[in-house]
Chain A
Amino acid sequence: MTTAGDAVARLVREERARVLATLIRVTGSVDLAEDATQDAVVRALETWPRDGVPANPRAWLLVTAKRQAIDHIRREGRRPDKEAAAMEPPVDEAPEEVRDDLLRLVFTCCHPFLSLDAQVALALRTLAGLSTAEVARGLLVPEATMAKRLVRAKQKIANAGIPYRVPAAEELPDRLAGVATTVYLIFNEGYDGRPALAAEAIRLGRVLAELMPDEPTVLGLLALMLLQESRRPARAGTVLLADQDRSLWDTAAIKEGVELVGVALRRTPDRPDRHVVQAAIAACHALAPSYDETNWASVVSWYDVLLTVHDTSVVRLNRAAAVAERDGAAAGLALVDAITDLDAYPWWHASRAELLNRLGDKDSARVAFDRAVAAGINASTAEHLRRRIFD
């Protein structure tokens, strides 16, 4: 494709979700809106590289998509003509209205009445604009399974009456936390081997930050993803934080992430937000010139804050690892051993192996390492750990 074609494809992709969001409100049907938006996108990709990009690309796409929707309704006789006529004449939508439509779409795709699997699939399909095949590939699910999952989710929205609206102020914190969880789940899916999926999650994070620039949850989420992603080149799949070549870290992403953490903390009213605190921990690591020079005292105190809003065994394990760096392996191991419900979690055993080895108890360390492998750590990570601990 030519450079002009690439630019058009990028532009169309950026506008696609907004056009779709408005069409869903106007037509009241996700399926119809998807078909009509897809038609408009195809037209844009055909005509724009040849005839030039219209002055207002979004308005062009919207008007074209509305006309397509009307054609669909008439052709399939899905609804009486008078309802199709109600959509005419296609008029320009006010920018605030378009922004609110995208928010409606965000909150509908990430609605807690849908399963997390369905939310992730819908977000990738409608918000990120991936094809069903791309979503299936991204999530390592057969395409037929993904198609069925999307159909069911859309049927539930339509038939069970999941509303297409932005939640009221009193519900917003909970619902926003749900949106953040869904987007972070997409990011996590891409964390190991699928950078494209992580990039989609960051792109969604940017859209959310643009839509809700004052929400700490949204800023914290974007910051957290940027800071995690900044280490990808040094991580190379398996290299642990302690052993990474920090010169490979993406400094632009770190700068943006750290600034976002600052803004998010200033906007945090009373109760700290989970994603902001996690991003603050990531920022401590990102700002440390080396592993040994990490400010472990502040890492531990951020974990203390995190435990007040998100007390899970995995957070306790991570805090224990930071305590081991601050106060020594014995103090860390005592905290790791106090966590009793992570027997199935390979990193609990791996942490024990590391700390037992530091304390000179090679035999127990080897037993713990074997347990980590048995609990399902992947082969290359296991090899990395083995060399780190025993060589």
Chain B
Amino acid sequence: MTTYLAMIYTPEMDWDQSKPAEMSGEYAEFNRAAAAVLRGGNALYPSTTATTVRVSGGKGGDVLTTDGPYAETKEVLTGYYVLECADLEEAVKTAAQIPAAWNGGVVEVRPIVQFS
């Protein structure tokens, strides 16, 4: 067996505006249909809540953050971590320790929607 990441690209989705109920119909149906192979998944807040993190000067160097998503096309998505942190400051601090962040790559930190 091989494990896959299915990445979802759509127009910007504002979870504060669209009620989870409206979304949940189609996705709930998919979740049921694919239950045998689903290992997890999340919805993300809009890209405007993103913070992009880079570290200059190698491991432990200066942490540079930018408001907004990573928009360049030279790098591609090569992995991900799910972090549970007290706040965005802790999340960014952790993201800055991910080797990609200080190896010339970039880490984008985006909050996951908590459906209640």
Q: How big is chain A's contact interface, by range?
A: 10 to 19
Q: How long is the Cα–Cα vector from A155 to B47 in the complex, in angstroms?
A: 11
Residues of A within 8 A of B87 (CB): 161-163
Residues of B within 8 A of A364 (CB): none
Q: Say which one of A47-55, A110-118, A372-380 lies at the interface with B.
A: A110-118
Q: Say which one of B1-9, B30-38, B71-79, B88-96 lies at the interface with A.
A: B88-96
Residues A118 and B46 in contact in the complex (CB < 8 Å), given A113-B51, A160-B88, A161-B91: no
From A113, A115, A159, contact of B45 by CB (8 A): A159
Q: Check A152 for interface membership: any CB of B closer than 8 A.
A: yes
Residues A163 and B88 in contact in the complex (CB < 8 Å), given A112-B65, A115-B68: yes
- A152 contacts B65, C-beta separation under 8 Å: no
Residues of B within 8 A of A114 (CB): 67
- A163 contacts B67, C-beta separation under 8 Å: no
Interface centre among B51, B92, B110 (most CB of A within 10 A): B51
**Chain A residues numbered 145-173 whose CB sits less than 8 Å from any CB in chain B:** 152, 155-156, 159-163
From A155, A156, A159, A161, contact of B67 by CB (8 A): A156
Which residue on chain B has the smallest CB distance to residue A149?
B48
- A155 contacts B88, C-beta separation under 8 Å: no
Count the A-B residue pairs with Cβ separation under 8 angstroms: how many?
47
Q: How far is the CB of A154 from chain B (nearest CB, A)?
A: 10
Q: How far is the CB of A28 from chain B (nearest CB, A)?
A: 12
Residues A152 and B48 in contact in the complex (CB < 8 Å), given A114-B67, A159-B16, A161-B111: yes
Count of chain B residues with a beta carbon within 8 Å of a chain A beta carbon: 21
Q: How long is the Cα–Cα vector from A163 to B48 in the complex, in angstroms?
A: 17
- B48 contacts A156, C-beta separation under 8 Å: yes
Residues A113 and B48 in contact in the complex (CB < 8 Å), given A118-B67, A155-B16, A161-B111: no
Q: Hey, what's the 0/1 contact readout for B48-73 against A, CB within 8 Å counting as 1?
A: 11110000000000000101100000
Q: How long is the Cα–Cα vector from A56 to B46 in the complex, in angstroms?
A: 43
Which residue on chain A has the smallest CB distance to residue B112?
A159
Which residue on chain A has the smallest CB distance to residue B64?
A112
From A115, A152, A161, contact of B88 by CB (8 A): A161
From B15, B16, B67, B89, contact of A115 by CB (8 A): B67
A contacts, CB < 8 Å to B: 112-115, 118, 152, 155-156, 159-163
A-B contact pairs, 24 of them (CB 8 A): A112-B65, A113-B65, A113-B67, A113-B89, A115-B67, A118-B67, A155-B46, A155-B49, A156-B67, A159-B15, A159-B16, A159-B45, A159-B49, A160-B45, A160-B51, A160-B109, A160-B111, A161-B85, A161-B91, A161-B111, A162-B87, A163-B87, A163-B88, A163-B89
Please give me the 6 A-B residue pairs with the lowest Cβ-Cβ distance, nearest first.
A115-B67, A163-B87, A160-B49, A161-B87, A159-B45, A161-B88
